[in-house]
Structure 1
Amino acid sequence: MTCLIPYEPLNALKPIAENVWIVDGPEIAMGYVVGTLPFTTRMTVIRLADGALLLHSPTPLSEDLVEALAALGEVRILVAPNRLHFWWIGEWKARFPNAIAYAAPGVREAAKDRFSGFDAELCDEAPAAWAGEVELFPLVGSYMTELELFHVPSKTLVLTDMIENFERDRVTCRHMPPLLKIGGVLDPNGSTPRDVRLTFLGHKKKLRQTVKEMLERKPERVLIAHGRCYLANAEAELRRAFRWLL
């Protein structure tokens, strides 16, 4: 039994801004000490000026999606942005072997039993091929490093797990809303999950600096992997979501 209403249609491109799309994927179960919790999934697609397509946190590959992407450009870049978001990158690499598969620090070790074909690790700076189009903001913690992307032309900030924002009317299991509220991830007050915050306790100074740098870009929209994205008042929502840090 599912506990979340999916963001249908699934496995379909949804335009967000010029040269930016999202693809909503299936529900997954995330394991915790006390059991599992369901999560919706989401991929972001960015088209660079040369026609290269960047897939951030890829969702499952489907033939219809491959066909839709082919109408936009060529899949050349695959990004696993943190150690929890790599699950389907292998099937995309198999279908597009010439694409460069990038891993955030820690992903290779976490993914080794499922996919070992990463071409490079992303750390502090975006590759030269992205210059002027996509900026990289690494958020470094003790458990994971998450790579945030900023698409400069559209002023779109792409996050993964550092903000989660589950909508109450999309949650169908009665036990979940209290857990989401306690965790700090229930819309309209979505934020960094409290368990994730704990993994940044020894890294808050650097994290605060990087979040401020993201705010300085004045994003017009913030995309996230789990829950409702911020397509309006993005800068204010970003500041609110990180008020525990700022």
Structure 2
Amino acid sequence: MDPKETYSPLNCPKPVAEGIWIFDGLMIRMDLGPFKIPFPTRMTVVRLGDGTLWIHSPIAPDEDLFSAVDALGSVRHVIAPNSIHYWYMADWLERYPGARSYAVPDLATTAKRPFRIDHPLMDGARFAWESEIDWILVPGTKVSEAVFHVPSARTVILVDLIENFEAAKLSSPLMRFMLKLVGGLDPNGMAPLDLRMTFRPKRKQVRERLQRVVDWQPEKVIMAHGRIYDRDGAQELRRAFRWAI
């Protein structure tokens, strides 16, 4: 693994806002046609008002990572926010059997590594944390994604609706070219073309829901892949979602 491609140090908390941390994880390789694209991984941890933790898109765990999370509080909620970001849910629920799990609805039937789903992230559902975290489901055909907002920190949390890879962290010129072509290269991060296409059949609903995300007017935006936005979040969302709104 090329250390330039990761966001070292790994598996340790990095403060983003009051009560919000990101943990950068190991690199994975995803298929993009005939190519293997290196994807840095990232999870987000929010400490709720009662001191418990809300874990978003959990990454590959080890004992050091579990210890670092335990130092922040007691894990109570674990989130699989879209149809792709779920692989390590089973590991985290095994470690924290008392935690409640949340997932986009299609994972109940499509997950290749099944895990317990206590609460589907479906329209109309009510959750214990919703007085502190807003959320909205953006529905697609092959991929749906739940987007979250912590109003007290003016921070939006998502995974693939924006990918923002930094060219300096991509060792292959061809990969840089491909990402620039399909979308997802910093400073013009956005959902890649294949993902955008999955939302086209529901574009009216997608447009309305992404506009609501912009209307949250966040200052910061955390995504799973690439450089986060630590300022001008609403402006970045409006630019990144221009394909839909």
Report the CA distance between 1:152 and its aligned residue. Answer: 1.7
Identity of counterpart residues, as a percentage? 42
Paired residue for 1:21? 21
Contact 2:143 2:195 in 1 (8 A): no
Q: Is the 8 A contact 2:17 2:153 kept in 1?
A: yes
Q: Tell whether the 8 Å contact from 1:191 to 1:242 is kept in structure 2 after alignment.
A: yes
Instruction: Give the Cα separation in 1 of the matches to 2:102 and 2:238.
Output: 28
Please give the alpha-carbon distance, in whole angstroms, between the structure 2 residues aligned to 1:118 and 1:245: 30
Q: What is the distance in 2 between the residues matched to 1:128 and 1:82?
A: 17
Letter in 1 for 2:91: E
Structure 1 residue 60 corresponds to structure 2 residue 72:
no
- Quick check: 1:139–1:145 contact (8 Å CA) kept in 2? yes
Matched, 1:149 2:170: no
Instruction: State the Cα distance separating 1:3 from its structure 2 match.
Output: 9.3
Across the aligned residues of Structure 1 and Structure 2, the Cα RMSD in angstroms comes to 1.6
CA contact (8 A) 2:38 2:170 kept: no
Deviations 1:128-176 (A, max 9, x none): 3113200111100111210111112111100110100111111111211
In the TM superposition, 1:77-156 aligns within 5 A as: 77-111=77-111, 113-125=112-124, 127-156=126-155
Unaligned runs of 5+ in 2: none
Cα shift at 1:126: 5.9
Instruction: Give the length in aligned residue pairs.
Output: 245
Counterpart of 2:239?
240
- What are the superposed Cα offsets for residues 172-191 of structure 1, whole Å, 9 maximum, x if unpaired? 11211100100111111111
* CA distance in 1 between partners of 2:19 and 2:119 (Å): 24
Partner of 1:199: 198
Return the alpha-carbon distance in structure 2 between the equivalents of residues 13 and 69 of structure 1.
8
Q: CA deviation at 1:125?
A: 4.6
Quote the Cα distance in structure 1 between the aligned partners of 2:165 and 2:14: 19
Q: What displacement does 1:71 show?
A: 2.2
- What SS does structure 2 have at the residue aligned with 1:190? coil
CA distance in 2, matches of 1:46, 1:84: 21
The answer to whether the 8 Å contact 1:177/1:186 transfers is yes
1:134 and 1:149 in contact (8 A); partners too: yes
The answer to whether the Cα contact below 8 Å between 1:132 and 1:152 also exists between their aligned partners in 2 is no
Residue deviations 1:68-123 (CA, integer Å, cap 9, x gap):
22222110111111111011111110010010111112122232x42332222111
| TM-score normalized by the length of structure 1 | 0.94
> Structure 1 residues 25-34 or 176-185, which shifts more?
25-34
Structure 1 portions without partners, runs of 5+: none
How many angstroms does 1:52 deviate by?
A: 1.5
Distance 1:125 1:62, change over 3 A: farther
Whole-angstrom CA distance in 1 between matches of 2:113 and 2:213 = 32
In structure 2, the residue matched to 1:6 is 6
SS in 2 for 1:16: strand
